[in-house]
Structure 1
Amino acid sequence: MDKVDQSLISALRHDARASLSDLSHRLGVSRTTVRGRLDRLRQNGDIVGFTVVLKEDVQTDAIRGLMMIGIEGRGTDRITRQLRGLPAVRAVHSTNGRWDLILELGTGTLAELDAVLAQIRRFDGVSTSETNLLLATHKQS
């Protein structure tokens, strides 16, 4: 993947509905070049699809946090399924090192976050946890 491909992907991340003409103008290449590169990137599997971003997807929660969880025994799959069912859980990441899972949480109030943390800590198999509030996001993909 060269610089033109990377610029094309960057432009598509900004506006996936941009026309071939707009993309060619932004990149300083012909429409044929843009079409060919898009086709190649899709065929190679570099671009696997396009998606819609809804307004609620980009709205930020008033309270956001990261919760690291240590799990005893072999309950990781079961706990992960339980976590996916909680509305305040924005993402579940498996990891190595001290923690087994890292959660991205989002709520409207500290009281709601506290209730979610208490609920998760009561899950059978959750042995330890640590939570950090996110104060600001300086870059988001």
Structure 2
Amino acid sequence: MDDMDNRLIAALRHDARASLSDLAADLGVTRTTVRGRIEKLQARGDILGFSVVLREDALQDPVRGLMMIGIEGRGTERIIRQLQGMSAVRHIHSTNGRWDVIVEIGTGTLESFDRVLFDIRRLDGVVASETSLLLSTRKSS
């Protein structure tokens, strides 16, 4: 990807419904160039698709947070399977460094968020954790 592709993707992230004409004007190129670039990015698999984010999607989890988890020994796969079965767990990320797994959690209340943290900490093999509440989202892809 070159600078133009990166600028086009940034514009689409800002407004995926922008017309080819508006994108072309913003980027200082022709509509044909924008259309060709989008088609090329889709064909290469750089752009997988476009989506709609509804207000109710953002309001669904008023309490959200990230929980970093340290796991003892070789229990990571087992713990990931257990986490996948928890309805409040939105995403599970493997990582390197101090923490083995980072989990994104979403609930309706602080009390239910606290229960999820308690349940995760009780999983056999979880030896340490650190949690941060997400206060606001400044950018979402």
Calculate the TM-score normalised by the size of structure 2: 0.82
* 1:60 Cα deviation after fit: 6.8
Q: CA–CA distance in 2 between the matches of 1:53 and 1:140?
A: 10
Partner of 1:58: 58
Unmatched segments (≥5 aa) in structure 2: none
* 1:83 Cα deviation after fit: 1.4
Partner of 2:105: 105
Q: CA RMSD in A?
A: 2.2
What's the CA shift string for 1:3-23, capped at 9, x where partnerless?
Answer: 322221112112223332232
Partner of 1:93: 93
Partner of 1:46: 46
Q: CA–CA distance in 2 between the matches of 1:83 and 1:4?
A: 40
Unmatched segments (≥5 aa) in structure 1: none
What's the CA shift string for 1:77-127, capped at 9, x where partnerless?
Answer: 222122123222222111112211111222222211111111112222222
Partner of 1:114: 114
Q: CA–CA distance in 1 between the matches of 2:22 and 2:83?
A: 42
> Taking every aligned residue pair, what percent have the same amino acid on both sides?
67
Calculate the TM-score normalised by the size of structure 1: 0.82
Q: How many residues align?
A: 141
* 1:55 Cα deviation after fit: 3.0
